[in-house]
């Protein structure tokens, strides 16, 4: 599945959306329904929803797990407040983390 994202320099780029069932608490994801970026605050056991939170003000909402995907680096920067990078270990993508300072 492809989606289009607007980059910080105003360019549009296509990205492949990777849907994952192995989300963890505090992962930064995009809610495909509302197109909002949020951090996972709660994951009801055996449920098909995620409770997402978005600073400032800690706005919360519930999203369907199947409609969510990991946020891009640019999207995650909105939540984290700094540039982030995706850490990849083997075949599994890890959560987005702040870039290491040189």
Query: For 40-60, how does the pLDDT look when each residue is reduced to its tens digit (9 = 90+)?
Result: 999 988 889 999 998 766 789
> What ranges do the domains of the chain cover?
18-98
What pLDDT is recorded for position 42?
92
Distance of CA 95 to the CA centre of its chain: 9
Distance between CA 39 and CA 54 in Å, rounded?
6
Distance between CA 54 and CA 8 in Å, rounded?
19
27 — pLDDT class (breaks 50, 70, 90): confident
Model confidence, pTM: 0.60
What pLDDT is recorded for position 83?
52
Distance between CA 38 and CA 61 in Å, rounded?
9
For domain 18-98, the question of CATH label 2.30.30 is answered with yes
Mean pLDDT of 4-14: 52
């Amino acid at each position: 599945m492809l989606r289009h994202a607007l980059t910080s320099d105003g360019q549009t780029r296509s990205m492949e959306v990777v849907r994952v069932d192995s989300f963890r608490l505090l992962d930064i994801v995009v809610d495909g329904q509302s197109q909002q970026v949020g951090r996972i605050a709660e994951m009801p056991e055996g449920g098909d929803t995620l409770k997402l939170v978005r600073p400032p003000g800690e706005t919360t909402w519930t999203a369907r797990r199947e409609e969510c995907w990991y946020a891009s680096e640019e999207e995650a920067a909105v939540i984290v407040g700094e540039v982030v990078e995706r850490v990849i270990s083997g075949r599994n993508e890890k959560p987005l983390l702040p870039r290491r300072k040189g």
